[in-house]
Amino acid sequence: MTEEINVSIVIPLLNESESLPELHRWIQSVMNHHSLSYEVIFIDDGSKDGSWKIIEDLRRIDTHVKGIKFQRNYGKSAALHVGFEKAIGKVVITMDADLQDSPDEIPALYEMIVQQDFDVVSGWKKKRHDPISKTIPTKLYNWAARRITGIYLHDFNCGLKAYKNAVIKSIELYGDMHRYIPALAKYAGFTKIGEKVVQHQARKYGVTKFGLNRFLNGPLDLMTVAFMGKFGKKPMHFFGAWGMLMFVLGFGLFLYMGIDKLFFNTLALRLSERSEFFVALVAMIIGIQFFLTGFIAELIGRNSSTRNHYLVENELF
């Protein structure tokens, strides 16, 4: 009989060879001290610095260590996705490999999931050891994410999070969606989302792997998550509504100008000479395009293999 695993620790990494041995010792010490059964799943996202060799060495001395290596760099979301597929622990913890996330937080996160019955617990790095060029955009991004998703977390992008196993088996990550796992969980029906202040360590080895492109990709992915959560299975409700509104406004303006021209002729101009004519024309064209976009999206969704995929929590049959 397979031993029940209390905690699966999923750690994506890219070129973190210097920190891996120390991180492993730290995790091992914490888990043994609290008598928690565990597995550590390292996902090497195309490292070029010998990180995989270290993971292989750790595996030889500790059977709790598991590893997955990508042929090239696919990104953090892809790494977490394959890690989630392999995780079998009752609680799944994600953390970064750069030692900025403290393994000492794991037992408390585990207790919040098991004893307080949270679906998701997100870490909040209340005191950050980052430059101001990183902290100010992060505050703006978190404010926007709270307003759009309705989830009031202070730090959406904190890598240290805890989940029930059912949560990570019910969501799919792609692109850069790892920032919005709480939102994906909410849209999947897991609404008990908590937060815990966690310690943020100063970077000890190497350099950050995230560039300025995240400030562009983050808001775009946020809009994608919000749209898919609300209209993923009914795109016509969004595009059709806006299309009808634009068309009705344009047609109403066109009708007004036509009546004015036929019966009042207040401006003594041809319709094509009035700026309102082009506003009405553009509005009607955009309205038709929105409506057709929704119609095409419905056709695609109708032929999707997941069109009738619904998450069932329990069943009496």
| Cβ count near 265 (within 10 Å) | 9
DSSP state of 197: E
Kindly give the pairing relationship between strand 91-94 and strand 161-164: antiparallel
- Residues 98-145: tens digit of each pLDDT: 898 999 999 999 999 999 999 999 999 887 766 666 667 778 878 888
**Hey, CA dihedral for 34, 40, 123, 231, is it positive or negative?**
negative
Q: Which CATH class is domain 7-231?
A: alpha beta
Is the pTM of the predicted complex or chain greater than 0.85?
no
**β-sheet bridge partners, residue 180:** none
Closest CA to 8 of 44, 38, 52: 38
Q: Is 120 exposed, middle or buried (0-12, 13-18, 19+ CB in 10 A)?
A: buried
pLDDT recorded at residue 132? 62
HSE-up of residue 258 (Cα within 13 Å, Cβ side)? 8
- Residues 205-226: tens digit of each pLDDT: 666 655 556 666 667 777 777 7
Regions in the chain scoring below 70 on pLDDT:
1-3, 129-135, 205-218, 229, 267-268, 302-317
Gap between the Cα atoms of 176 and 168, Å rounded:
16
> What's the order of all strands across the beta sheet hosting 161-164?
65-69, 38-44, 7-13, 91-94, 161-164, 120-124, 193-197
User: At 164, is the secondary structure helix, strand, or coil?
Assistant: strand
Q: Determine contact, residues 42/20, Cβ cutoff 8 Å.
A: yes
